[in-house]
Amino acid sequence: MLPPMDDTLLPIGRFGRLAGLTIGALRHYHEVGLLVPARVDDETSYRSYAAAQLEDARFIARLRELDLGLAEIRAVVQATPEARADLLKAHRARLAAFLSRTQRQIHWLNRAIDHEEPIMTTATTTTLDADADVRRQLAVELFNHVWTLLEQPDRSPAGDDEMLHAAHASRYHWGEVGEPIHLARGEWQCSRVYAVLGRSEPALWHARRCLALCEEHGIGDFDIAFAWEAIARANRVAGDGAAAESALARARGLAVAIAEDDDRELVLSDLETV
């Protein structure tokens, strides 16, 4: 157990060990004005810190572990409690979006490795088939582009518009050349984008279209679970907690029956963000 702390100045090495920061990091934080030592020796430039600074130092160390940049950390440290909570919530949203996209990328890779997803389309010679290949490629690229935009912090209104139009464009191209499962996934992404933008009515409309396509074409497993996830998320945005909880219960019940472990984990982790 560490001995009780008092106001005695601590040398940089001991302070760093107690705070979980390297000496190099502490020197850099001093240079940029993030964590200024309590005392700097005029002759040796040796830095000493007050025990009372340990709380701030440990907080900075934790924020660095969360991949916040120094400018962002400074803003969080200097903010009021209310503003600090808002800044941390914004970073949490960025991490959640990044996690969701990474999980989907891993899921696609697993299916590609198991030969359940085509890695590339087959080249064709007719104009009609070539056009279909182009449409498929556009649908995929636009779908992925939407996820890139969802991850962007402090997205501008123009970025919101681009994200929304890209989601609809992807769904349009799948409507021309895709199978019902592609249409359902396109409707799901449109619903997610509207939910992120706080627009509950179109979010719910597209979520219901996703569910209707799944039911009409017998699409089950994780796709129908995600359809109920979208309905839950849209109702949550609308402020209808009862409907959201009911849809979440349906989604969790369907998730239990998902055959593949990684598919099941993908659904369950996404449900935690509703």
Task: For residues 244 and 228, give the distance between their C-alpha atoms in angstroms, rounded to a whole number.
Answer: 9
Are 31 and 159 in the same domain?
A: no
- What size, in residues, is the chain? 274
The predicted pLDDT at position 128 comes to 43
Distance between CA atoms of 251 and 193, rounded to whole angstroms? 19
Same domain, 119 and 245: yes
pLDDT tens, residue order, the chain (274 aa): 233 344 578 999 899 999 999 998 899 899 888 999 999 988 888 999 999 999 999 999 999 888 888 888 888 988 898 888 888 888 887 777 777 777 767 777 777 787 665 544 444 434 445 588 888 888 989 998 998 888 887 788 999 999 999 999 999 999 999 999 999 999 999 999 999 999 999 999 999 999 999 999 999 888 999 999 999 999 999 999 999 999 999 999 998 888 888 778 878 888 888 8
For residues 203 and 197, give the distance between their C-alpha atoms in angstroms, rounded to a whole number: 9
Residues 73 and 94 reside in one and the same domain = no
Let me know: does 188 contact 207? Beta carbons within 8 Å: yes
Contact between 143 and 168 under an 8 Å Cβ cutoff? The reply is no
Q: Is 149 in contact with 155 (CB distance < 8 Å)?
A: yes
Task: Provide the pLDDT for residue 123.
Answer: 41
- Comparing CA positions, the residue from 273, 186, 178, 183 lying closest to residue 232 is 273
Same domain, 106 and 132: yes
User: Do 63 and 101 lie in a common domain?
Assistant: no
CATH number, domain at 250? Answer: 1.25.40.10
pLDDT recorded at residue 1: 29
Determine the pLDDT at residue 196. Answer: 93
| pLDDT at residue 67 in the model | 81
Burial classification of residue 189, based on how many CB atoms lie within 10 Å of its CB (0-12 exposed, 13-18 middle, 19 or more buried): buried
- Let me know if residue 84 belongs to a domain: no
CATH for 30: 1.10.1660.10
Same domain, 31 and 165: no
- What per-residue confidence (pLDDT) applies to 117? 57
How many domains, the chain? 2
Domain presence at residue 85: no
Are 104 and 196 in a shared domain?
yes
- Domain range enclosing 105: 90-271
Question: In this structure, are 57 and 101 located in the same domain?
Answer: no
Given this model, what pLDDT does residue 2 score?
37
pLDDT at 249: 93
Clarify whether residues 74 and 96 are in a common domain.
no
100 and 228 part of one domain: yes
Q: Are residues 199 and 257 in the same domain?
A: yes
Residue 83 lies in a domain: no
> Residues 31, 147: one domain?
no
